[in-house]
Amino acid sequence: MNTKRPRARRTNAGMRAEYDFSGGVRGKYTDQYRRGSNVVLLEPELADAFPDSKSVNDALRALLAIAARAEHRKRA
């Protein structure tokens, strides 16, 4: 006696016209995903001050340099 339910067959009847994936490329972002990426959400006032990733990276690098100098002075 089989107690498993039969699998429902998938049909395209439920697929909306705007979900046309016929031009899609399988695995397009696989390498990028494997390398990893970080997504950070900024508060609105910070997003105004840092409109792109370059400005955020530059500010964080400057902060790291300041922190490293302060740590070096602490040890000396």
Q: What is the predicted pLDDT for the residue at 76?
A: 74
Residue-wise pLDDT for 3-57, tens only, equals 887 776 666 667 787 888 888 899 998 888 888 878 888 999 999 999 999 999 9
Band of pLDDT at residue 58, cut at 50, 70 and 90:
very high
**Alpha-carbon torsion 51, 56, 62, 63, what sign?**
positive
**Tally of domains in the chain:** 1
Q: Which whole-number Å values give the CA distances from 66 to 53, 56, 57, 61, in the listed order?
A: 20, 15, 14, 9
Residue numbers of the domain that contains 66: 40-76
In three-state secondary structure terms, 36 is coil
Q: How far is C-alpha 25 from the chain's CA centre?
A: 19
19 in any annotated domain = no
Cβ-based neighbours of 42, under 8 Å, separated by 6 or more: 50, 56
Q: What is the predicted pLDDT for the residue at 8?
A: 66
12 in any annotated domain = no
10 in any annotated domain = no
Torsions phi, psi for 21 (to 5 deg): -105, 20
